[in-house]
Structure 1
Amino acid sequence: MLEVDVLRVGAQGDGLAADGLFVPYGLPGERVAGIRDKDRLLPVRILVESPDRIAPVCPHFGVCGGCLLQHWRTDAYRAWKRALVVDALAREGVVAEVSPLVDAHGEGRRRAIFHARQIGPRTIVGFAERKSHSMVPITICPVLAPGLDHALDAAKAVAEAIARQKKPLDLHVTATENGLDLDVRGSGPLPPMLLMDLAAIAERFDLARLTRHGEMVVQRRVPFLPMGAARVELPPAAFLQATAAGEAMLAARVGEAVAGAKKVADLFSGVGTFALRLASTARVWGYESNEVAVTAMLKATRGVQGLKGVEGEVRDLFRRPLMAEELAKFDAVVIDPPRQGAEAQARELAKSKVGRLVYVSCAVSTFARDAALLIAGGFRLESVTPFDQFRYSPHVELVATFSR
């Protein structure tokens, strides 16, 4: 049995002891005991408990891999999450003042991906264990918004109906303005009688829409979400900001940063989270590799009064970033790439004459890399504001503003 002192919490949410040993759910200042398993201490027995340790809010905490930090006092957790941004920038040599962490949890997460597995006669629906493919059957998830109150029951009913296919399923559920939107992935083709059973389940749980791999099973109502003056008809399993409050806060910060711009490029525009809001004061060009998302964004502008104009182009910005010459017509650029960041696009932005840039990031390490490229190209990093949409997780988002 090995005894160690937890020195700090690492970037992935585990406690860290000397020699880089990971201590699952360990908190700074604790002394713990366990057996070393490669680079982890398992199982962990607390010998000296941190005064910052609190009771978790979920009965599945410690088994379910979804939340890692429910046991940490709020002020200590918030300071650590802001420090993730500070440390990532420092590693890239980027000097910037990082604002206090903004709580963007709101009512909770409005989308979830439940996993379903058939184990003998049982259909297990829930989330995966930490660093494992084993399933945790869940009965409650406190981080979900009230709009997903019946999502787990609906997902279980769909999974049980498809159980005879004996395939692992992912069930994407989104709370929309008109009810739950559920998309099933992994089932393969389904026979007509089973599709009829799924349509009956949609009726029983009052789903707005039920799809399989994006293909329609039944639509009882169009699943909409408001974005600025527009209302977007969501594509199945569409990417969205995790919480409604988070989307509103990020969009407000972006809007403030580009205020006064007449022509704005929205790179990695998705279904129009920022573009549709910015269009009330500027002409916006959205660029996104997902054709379905671009179509949904443009469709949402039809008949909406007061918009300055939204154009969309299907374009893979990893393979074909907007070149410096193409960027010349824009007063401001908004960029919201996925977790891998946008190195190729950042290099072209650095070469461009764009005067204002707003970078929305969901991965601080790749943001820091891209920020260093932009600064080397003549941009000044004016502000960095971290947002916490994924409460109890190591995931932190941010909005950064740059100017020439």
Structure 2
Amino acid sequence: MSEFTIDRLGAKGDGIAETPQGPVYLPFTLPGERVATTALGGRNEPDILAPSPDRREPPCPHFGTCGGCDLQHASDDLYRRFKRDLVVTALARAGVEAGVAPLTSCPPASRRRVTLSAVRAGGRVLIGYNAEKSNRIVAIETCPIALPAIQEALPALRRLASILIDRKRPLRLLVTATASGLDVAATDTARLNEVIRRDAVALSLDSNFVRLSASGEVLFQTRPPLVDFGGITVEPPPGAFLQAVAQSEAAMATLVTQHLADAKRSLDLFSGCGTFSLRLVQTSAVHAVEAEEAPLAAQTAAWRSASGLKPLTCERRDLFRRPVQAREMKGFDAVVFDPPRAGAEAVSRELAASSVRKIAAVSCNPVTLGRDLAILLAGGYRIVSVTPIDQFLWSHHVEAVALLER
């Protein structure tokens, strides 16, 4: 049995003890704690010999086995500081000097979108999340980060999984709570035959799901699954990207729209279904660019169904392979970009060479955000503000919105 004193939290939420042999990473520990363990490098919880005053009882019975949450055992104050420090540290390492606002928090039971995995285990089907750093599925009975509508549907989703699951691979269920009801998108299903289709549709109807799709094919829909983007209603295509928490999306959108409020023409890169473009188009002409056709069609349909909006144009384009060039940005006052975790390096280099006046950079990865901001600063922009926003509660993932101008 070895004893350690925890000095700080690492980027993924593990406690770190500094030793003469180097740092030791110990999961589920907090700064200041004295702990003992017989196993290093695993996910076993050490014995807590002297607990931190910031330690609290985790609210979920699956914490420690389910890999979805890292920090349910930390106080709210420590947790908020940890999330903010992720952004502060990433920017500093990229050489970016910027004040970072306090974390904009999200409450428990607020996540409208979860991805569940299902596997066969003997004669049963288990549904839940992956264990940390493992392909093993941890079966869950509750999920305190998810909206009540998703939690209440877990038994029905387990039955649905038993119908759709393949014999040789895990099934994935992307479950989204919309204004109309639950939208379920299944991938890696068994080969669909008449019996599977019939049974899946019957269960979904009985469970009051609004739509069920399998690998993009809609098996049934009773009414449109609807999502509100700043007062404009969108019907997202099956499996389309949405921000995980509606309140967090609203906080991000407020920062973006207020910063770009005086723009006459705005460019929305990685626009998805219109999270920002459909808000910006209420005051500015918008050109939205996205790699997939279905999300563009969804935001176009929403724009056409609303009234009093400015012009919206859409372009299908892979921004990693073919970023919008600086010369193409001529005539745009403002740009918002919200890329995947890989960030927007190529886009940022073009922006740095452009004459665009204002930028809103939205990111789910502080490391790539720091890199992109360094490029923009070298191109003559200055940072107005950086705001970390939580929507992956109790995890080590954090969003951030950086606002820049020339």
- Indicate the TM-score class for this superposition, using the shorter chain for normalisation: over 0.9
Aligned to 2:273: 271
Letter of the structure 1 residue corresponding to residue 344 of structure 2: A
Q: Is contact 1:151-1:173 (8 Å) kept?
A: no
Aligned mates of 2:43, 2:62 — CA distance in 1: 21
Q: After superposition, what is the alpha-carbon deviation per residue over 1:61-107, rounded to whole angstroms, capped at 9, x for unaligned?
A: 11111111111011111111111111111101111111111113475
Change (3 A) 1:272 1:137: same
Question: Secondary structure of 2:37's match?
Answer: strand
Aligned to 2:344: 342
Structure 2 unaligned segments of length 5 or more: list them.
Answer: none
Aligned to 1:6: 6
Letter of the structure 1 residue corresponding to residue 35 of structure 2: V
Q: After superposition, what is the alpha-carbon deviation per residue over 1:142-179, rounded to whole angstroms, capped at 9, x for unaligned?
A: 11112323331222011112347453100110001111
Query: What pairs up with 1:224-263 in 2 under 5 angstroms?
Result: 224-263=226-265
Structure 1 unaligned segments of length 5 or more: list them.
Answer: none
Q: 1:120 aligns with which of 114, 122, 141?
A: 122
Aligned mates of 1:283, 1:151 — CA distance in 2: 41
Q: 1:216 aligns with which of 215, 218, 237?
A: 218
Letter of the structure 2 residue corresponding to residue 382 of structure 1: V
Letter of the structure 1 residue corresponding to residue 9 of structure 2: V
Aligned mates of 1:374, 1:105 — CA distance in 2: 33
Query: What pairs up with 1:49-68 in 2 under 5 angstroms?
Result: 49-68=51-70
Q: 2:292 aligns with which of 280, 290, 293?
A: 290
Q: Is contact 2:45-2:64 (8 Å) kept?
A: no
Aligned mates of 1:255, 1:164 — CA distance in 2: 45
How far the C-alpha of 1:258 sits from its partner, in A, is 0.2
Change (3 A) 1:51 1:112: same
Letter of the structure 2 residue corresponding to residue 220 of structure 1: T
Query: What pairs up with 1:156-195 in 2 under 5 angstroms?
Result: 156-163=158-165, 165-195=167-197
1:198 matched to 2:200? The reply is yes
1:21 matched to 2:19? The reply is no
Question: Secondary structure of 1:102's match?
Answer: coil
Question: Secondary structure of 1:21's match?
Answer: strand
Q: 1:131 aligns with which of 133, 152, 157?
A: 133
How far the C-alpha of 1:248 sits from its partner, in A, is 1.0
Aligned mates of 1:183, 1:191 — CA distance in 2: 17
Q: Is contact 1:107-1:243 (8 Å) kept?
A: no
Q: Is contact 1:52-1:72 (8 Å) kept?
A: yes
Q: 2:87 aligns with which of 85, 88, 91?
A: 85
Q: Is contact 1:328-1:353 (8 Å) kept?
A: yes
How far the C-alpha of 1:361 sits from its partner, in A, is 0.7
Stretch deviating more after TM superposition (368-377 or 227-236): 227-236
Runs of 4+ in 1 over 6 A off after TM superposition: none
1:35 matched to 2:32? The reply is no
Q: Identity rate of aligned residues, in percent? A: 46
Aligned mates of 1:25, 1:392 — CA distance in 2: 12
Aligned mates of 2:166, 2:272 — CA distance in 1: 35
Aligned mates of 1:300, 1:219 — CA distance in 2: 18
Q: After superposition, what is the alpha-carbon deviation per residue over 1:327-380, rounded to whole angstroms, capped at 9, x for unaligned?
A: 111000001111110111110000111110010111000000000010011111
Q: How many residues get paired? A: 403
- TM-score normalised to the size of structure 1? 0.97
Q: Is contact 1:209-1:222 (8 Å) kept?
A: yes
Aligned mates of 2:356, 2:396 — CA distance in 1: 33
Stretch deviating more after TM superposition (152-161 or 207-216): 152-161
How far the C-alpha of 1:40 sits from its partner, in A, is 5.0
